[in-house]
Amino acid sequence: MSSSLCAPLGTRRGRGGYVEDGSSRQDVPIVVREGVYLTWEELWVTMSKPSGKDGKKAIILESQTGYAKPGELLAVMGPSGCGKTTLLDALAGRLNSKAKQTGDILINGRKQALAYGTSAYLTQEDAMLTTLTVEEAVYYSAQLQLPDSMSKFEKKERAEFTIKEMGLQDAIHTRIGGCGSKGISGGQKRRVSICIEIITRPNLLFLDEPTSGLDSAASFYVMNRIARLNKTDGIQRTIIASIHQPNTQVFQLFHNLCLLSNGKLVYFGPASAANKFFALNGFPCPTLQNPSDHFVKTINKDFELENPEQGLTDGLTTEEAIYMLVKSYQSSETSQQIQTEIVAIRTGDSSAMEKKSNAAFFTQCIVLTRRSYLNMYRDLGYYWLRLFIYGALAICLGTIFYNIGSSKESAQARGSLLMFVATFLTFITIGGFPSFVEEMKVFEKERLNGHYGVTAYIIGQTLSSIPYILLISLIPGAIVYYLTNLHHSCQHFVYFTCVLFVSVMLVESLMMIVASMVPNFLTGIITGCGILGVMMLNGGFYKLPSDLPKPIWKYPLYYISIHKYAYQGLFKNEFEGLTFTNKNNNDQVGEHMKNISGEDMLRDLWEVEMCHSKWVDLFILLGMLVLYRVLFLVIIKAMEKVKPIVAAFKWK
């Protein structure tokens, strides 16, 4: 390997310090390198086998050693399932909780977990808001990620430039599309995802199969553009990309190549020297064959049993060939040079990792509100379908309970109607969960890449949903209220609408919490249904509070049930101040038996707590709403905090 590999790139003068052996170099001006230097040594990743009751672990990565440095593009290649994504995840500090990692990963010479927002990571799966056009997706991302010091015009210009760079100018006004709504193609989606990750020109960029779904020409242009990121503004960037089948032109863009087979390191070194390594070990690349195809084919043992003749080379099975290559690499000169390079990187002084300077908090809130509002407007499943169902149910309720009357029997009907409003009408809010889970996937990806903060997201999500929830509370609420002729007065109608509005928001908040912990929408819906079912049952209607298990303070479900406060508030709003006539009265019965006050009914029939007013119930619901949203924030934040600690613990 050339000595240039060890030469620091993009250097600046720094102050004196201590070298690793402890000797002082106070008086020697040292050179501090810019950019991100990543080294990993003896990196192992194991995972618990799903079926392994014996506690056996599956080895996903074995004894990986390598480095990535500014100004260079490192390609990670190998057959499907060899551990490329796992290597990228380990380096980016994103391994899932089932994985255990040992070995050293150093960032700029320090053992540290990558903080949120210090790198960009293009995941294999494209997670984007499907209702947005290409231009909107990239421009919103630019507004969120680029600092406020850049003007709107500059951000727009950067977004348009990046879209053009990725060859998406013809699809700029096409919606991204997803399940059930056709939009741009899979390859175009991939390029939009790349646009979103490179728009800030990050110093450290992980790309997991950036060219999947692209034709060979598009693959070249995209990879060429990514490789050129280093040359546009004089800043050296560290880029690590896993890639499946690069053509010869793309392969020539790689500085270093990391070749994996079944978790083992077959080769790490200059991409240009890989051909020689394979030839020296008895696997020369046939003329007219793409070297990368040749490497991956030589070390792919997945189909050996199907095609035994494919695996045999010089009388070796593929497994034996891989073993031989791994051993040969370990004792090779290239491997020694890589070690030397790693030591040079470790001992050099590097500047600390810097967090991207995103848009300010206030800007993030505004942009996220706008983006989320637009997404909700265009996604029929988010609110419009619910508005339709709510409207239909309201007409149905209005017809069944039409002009409800004022007899004692009508009071029972009022109770049932209000309970239906407090429970079922809020329960069907769960219908919007699939759309919310899709949004959460985008949020999760963007949050991990540090596009914006959790608080800004929650504020944006809350503000954008208010007009829609107001609509689905107001219109169906008005239909029910006036068809059934509930308690006449504007104040009573406003209260009714407020309780419906806050309850729907509360159920949405509950589902946000569920989504943060159960990101699968089927399990999420079942979990949400279960929680709401328990709350409904314990609201004090289906079983009266006095019948609930004693002592009541040992039964907290009653007090934390959303429905308790919603139904008690609605009941007080409806019954207080009304008098109901007893149809079965006769002359022998006293006047007090002929008419029953609403307050008496609340107390005797439903055991509604009369010690506080209906406004207290509404206030408690509002408090719960704030609490649920804060809880969502705390859970996400806690996960952020716990992850690096778990990662650090795993390294030990």
Q: Is the Cβ of residue 298 or residue 465 nearer to ligand ATP in the bound state?
A: 298
Q: What is the DSSP string of 610-637?
A: -SS-HHHHHHHHHHHHHHHHHHHHHHHH
Task: Considering only the stretches 3-11, 76-84, 335-343, 388-396, report the one whose residues sit in contact with ligand ATP under the rule CB under 6 A.
Answer: 76-84
What is the amino acid identity at position 174? T
Q: Binding to ligand ATP by residue 60, rule CB under 6 A?
A: yes
d(CA 139, CA 305): 50
Q: What is the DSSP string of 360-375?
A: -HHHHHHHHHHHHHHH
Q: How far is the CB of 45 from ligand ATP (least distance, A)?
A: 8
Q: Is the Cβ of residue 98 or residue 110 nearer to ligand ATP in the bound state?
A: 98
Task: Considering only the stretches 74-82, 180-188, 192-200, 395-403, report the one whose residues sit in contact with ligand ATP under the rule CB under 6 A.
Answer: 74-82
Q: Is the Cβ of residue 103 or residue 434 nearer to ligand ATP in the bound state?
A: 103
What is the amino acid identity at position 626? V
Q: How far is the CB of 85 from ligand ATP (least distance, A)?
A: 3
d(CA 419, CA 544): 13
Residue 242: its H or E element: strand 238-242
Which of residues 39, 86, 261, 484 is near ligand ATP by CB under 6 A? Answer: 86
Task: Considering only the stretches 84-92, 155-163, 170-178, 333-341, report the one whose residues sit in contact with ligand ATP under the rule CB under 6 A.
Answer: 84-92
Q: How far is the CB of 97 from ligand ATP (least distance, A)?
A: 9
At CA 573, angle to CA 567 and CA 576, rounded to 5? 115
For 41, the token pair is 């040594």
d(CA 634, CA 179): 32
d(CA 549, CA 246): 67
What is the amino acid identity at position 47? M
Q: How far is the CB of 64 from ligand ATP (least distance, A)?
A: 12
Which residues lie below 8 Å from residue 142, measured CB to CB, with a gap of 6+? 155, 156, 158, 159, 162, 199
Q: How far is the CB of 441 from ligand ATP (least distance, A)?
A: 18
Task: Considering only the stretches 79-87, 232-240, 579-587, 641-649, report the one whose residues sit in contact with ligand ATP under the rule CB under 6 A.
Answer: 79-87
Q: How far is the CB of 447 from ligand ATP (least distance, A)?
A: 21
Number of residues interacting with ligand ATP: please give it, by CB under 6 A: 13
Q: Is the Cβ of residue 86 or residue 449 nearer to ligand ATP in the bound state?
A: 86
Q: Binding to ligand ATP by residue 58, rule CB under 6 A?
A: yes
Q: How far is the CB of 117 from ligand ATP (least distance, A)?
A: 24
Q: Binding to ligand ATP by residue 80, rule CB under 6 A?
A: yes
Task: Considering only the stretches 78-86, 351-359, 444-452, 523-531, report the one whose residues sit in contact with ligand ATP under the rule CB under 6 A.
Answer: 78-86
Q: Binding to ligand ATP by residue 85, rule CB under 6 A?
A: yes
Q: Is the Cβ of residue 85 or residue 449 nearer to ligand ATP in the bound state?
A: 85
What is the amino acid identity at position 335? S
What is the amino acid identity at position 380? L
Task: Considering only the stretches 6-14, 81-89, 283-291, 511-519, report the one whose residues sit in contact with ligand ATP under the rule CB under 6 A.
Answer: 81-89
For 464, the token pair is 């954008």
**Dihedral over alpha carbons 527, 530, 533, 539 (to 10 degrees):** -80
**Summary count for the chain: helices (H), strands (E):** 23, 15
Q: How far is the CB of 194 from ligand ATP (least distance, A)?
A: 17
Q: Binding to ligand ATP by residue 158, rule CB under 6 A?
A: no
Task: Considering only the stretches 18-26, 73-81, 443-451, 619-627, report the one whose residues sit in contact with ligand ATP under the rule CB under 6 A.
Answer: 73-81
User: What phi and psi, each to the nearest 5 degrees, are found at residue 219?
Assistant: -60, -45
Query: Of 44, 34, 41, which is closest to residue 14 (Cα–Cα)?
Result: 34
Q: How far is the CB of 444 from ligand ATP (least distance, A)?
A: 17
Q: Is the Cβ of residue 123 or residue 473 nearer to ligand ATP in the bound state?
A: 123
Pairing of strands 31-33, 11-13: antiparallel
Site for ligand ATP in 98-157 (CB under 6 A): 98
Q: Binding to ligand ATP by residue 190, rule CB under 6 A?
A: no
Q: Binding to ligand ATP by residue 292, rule CB under 6 A?
A: no
d(CA 88, CA 578): 68
Which residues lie below 8 Å from residue 225, measured CB to CB, with a gap of 6+? 165, 166
d(CA 492, CA 495): 5
Q: How far is the CB of 110 from ligand ATP (least distance, A)?
A: 26
Which residues lie below 8 Å from residue 393, measured CB to CB, with a gap of 6+? 424, 425, 428, 476
Tokens 């079926």 belong to residue: 51
Q: How far is the CB of 418 from ligand ATP (least distance, A)?
A: 48
Q: Is the Cβ of residue 94 or residue 356 nearer to ligand ATP in the bound state?
A: 94
Q: How far is the CB of 96 from ligand ATP (least distance, A)?
A: 6
Q: Is the Cβ of residue 50 or residue 315 nearer to ligand ATP in the bound state?
A: 50
Which of residues 10, 71, 81, 187 is near ligand ATP by CB under 6 A? Answer: 81
What is the amino acid identity at position 288? L
Which of residues 35, 83, 291, 453 is near ligand ATP by CB under 6 A? Answer: 83
Site for ligand ATP in 25-54 (CB under 6 A): 47
Which of residues 74, 82, 127, 204 is near ligand ATP by CB under 6 A? Answer: 82
Q: Is the Cβ of residue 12 or residue 98 nearer to ligand ATP in the bound state?
A: 98
Burial of 42 (0-12, 13-18, 19+ CB in 10 A): exposed
Which of residues 84, 175, 191, 441 is near ligand ATP by CB under 6 A? Answer: 84
Burial of 405 (0-12, 13-18, 19+ CB in 10 A): middle
Q: Is the Cβ of residue 84 or residue 447 nearer to ligand ATP in the bound state?
A: 84
For 595, the token pair is 């008419």
Instruction: Tell me, residue by residue from 323 to 362, as one string, x for binding to ligand ATP by CB under 6 A and - for no binding.
Output: ----------------------------------------
Q: Is the Cβ of residue 84 or residue 301 nearer to ligand ATP in the bound state?
A: 84
Residue 480: its H or E element: helix 454-484
CA-only gyration radius of the chain, Å: 32
Is the Cβ–Cβ distance between 362 and 456 less than 8 Å?
no
For residue 324, the SS3 value is helix
d(CA 247, CA 249): 6
Rounded to whole angstroms, what are the CA distances from 470 to 24, 210, 381, 475, 562? 68, 42, 17, 8, 19
Q: Is the Cβ of residue 78 or residue 460 nearer to ligand ATP in the bound state?
A: 78
For 371, the token pair is 């983006």
Pairing of strands 204-208, 99-107: unpaired
Q: Which residues pair with 77 in a beta bridge?
A: 259
Q: Is the Cβ of residue 78 or residue 540 nearer to ligand ATP in the bound state?
A: 78
Q: Binding to ligand ATP by residue 405, rule CB under 6 A?
A: no
Q: Is the Cβ of residue 242 or residue 461 nearer to ligand ATP in the bound state?
A: 242
Q: Is the Cβ of residue 99 or residue 469 nearer to ligand ATP in the bound state?
A: 99
Q: Binding to ligand ATP by residue 59, rule CB under 6 A?
A: no
Residues that bind ligand ATP (CB under 6 A): 47, 58, 60, 78, 80-86, 96, 98
